[in-house]
């Protein structure tokens, strides 16, 4: 709990200080490749909303969540400036039941959020997405490998995702070319097990 608070404070400081280092303002080609046909999307850890706005501008119905109020405020301003209809919620991606985001969703997008979530909250993250997944839904996730972090608990691996996301297939793992290990993961919810009674 103490550690979660420390992470939250560090994130708040980044957003209050201005543009955080990860905020490139550029939509990655991996997401661009999935933009057609539009559907319903939930972005986890949306930061200042670049990609939520991108999806909305391409016809997607988008809900985007971030833990940090300042990030959500900046995302709201970005959406308003671009005329995109994005529902932006301040909240915890591991506690989706506390938010008004029932789904079902065809696409979940996570750019460097999950890999920073403490291990004891990750089952709750996976369960929240699983309950909200439309038949055949995809989760497109970018994450840093554990070697990229100084602490022993951050980072994500293909093996971990395979084990944690039951009822999903890890359809693709594409390593990055950075000196630090990074990956694009694509998971697909088994169609026959998808949300029948989404909450």
- Which residues contribute to the site for ligand SAM (CB under 6 A)? 11, 22-23, 44-47, 65-68, 71, 92-94, 111-113, 116-117
* Closer CB to ligand SAM, 9 or 199, in the complex: 9
R_g over Cα of the chain? 16
Among the listed residues 184, 107, 171, the one whose alpha carbon sits nearest the alpha carbon of residue 143: 184
| φ, ψ dihedrals at 178, nearest 5° | -70, 160
Q: Would you list the DSSP string of 108-142? A: EEEESSGGGS-HHHHHHHHHHHHHTEEEEEEEEEE
Among the listed residues 55, 61, 53, the one whose alpha carbon sits nearest the alpha carbon of residue 30: 55
Q: Would you list the DSSP string of 61-99? A: EEEEEES-HHHHHHHHHHHHHHT--EEEEES-TT-GGGS
Q: Residue 111 Cβ, how far from ligand SAM at the closest point, in Å?
A: 4
* Closer CB to ligand SAM, 27 or 157, in the complex: 27
* Closer CB to ligand SAM, 94 or 130, in the complex: 94
Residue with CB nearest ligand SAM? 45
Q: Residue 65 Cβ, how far from ligand SAM at the closest point, in Å?
A: 5
Q: Residue 71 Cβ, how far from ligand SAM at the closest point, in Å?
A: 5
* Closer CB to ligand SAM, 13 or 169, in the complex: 13
Q: Residue 4 Cβ, how far from ligand SAM at the closest point, in Å?
A: 8
Q: Are 172 and 184 in contact (CB under 8 A)?
A: yes
* Closer CB to ligand SAM, 65 or 134, in the complex: 65
Q: Residue 135 Cβ, how far from ligand SAM at the closest point, in Å?
A: 25
């Amino acid at each position: 709990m103490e550690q979660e608070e420390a992470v939250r404070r560090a994130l708040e400081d980044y957003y209050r200080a201005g543009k955080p280092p990860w905020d490139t303002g550029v939509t990655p080609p991996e997401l661009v490749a999935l933009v057609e046909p539009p559907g319903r999307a939930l972005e986890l850890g949306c930061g200042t909303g670049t990609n939520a706005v991108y999806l909305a501008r391409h016809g997607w119905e988008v809900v985007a969540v971030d833990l940090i109020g300042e990030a959500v405020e900046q995302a709201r301003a970005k959406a308003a400036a671009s005329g995109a209809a994005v529902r932006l919620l301040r909240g915890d991606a591991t506690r989706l039941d506390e938010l008004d985001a029932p789904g079902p969703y065809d696409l979940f997008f996570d750019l460097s959020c999950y890999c920073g979530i403490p291990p004891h909250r990750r089952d709750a993250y996976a369960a929240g997405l699983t309950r909200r997944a439309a038949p055949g839904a995809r989760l497109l996730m970018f994450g840093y490998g554990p070697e990229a972090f100084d602490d022993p608990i951050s980072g994500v691996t293909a093996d971990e995702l395979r084990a944690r996301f039951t009822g999903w297939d890890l359809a693709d793992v594409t390593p990055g070319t950075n000196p630090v290990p990074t990956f694009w993961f694509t998971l697909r919810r088994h169609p026959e097990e998808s949300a029948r009674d989404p909450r």
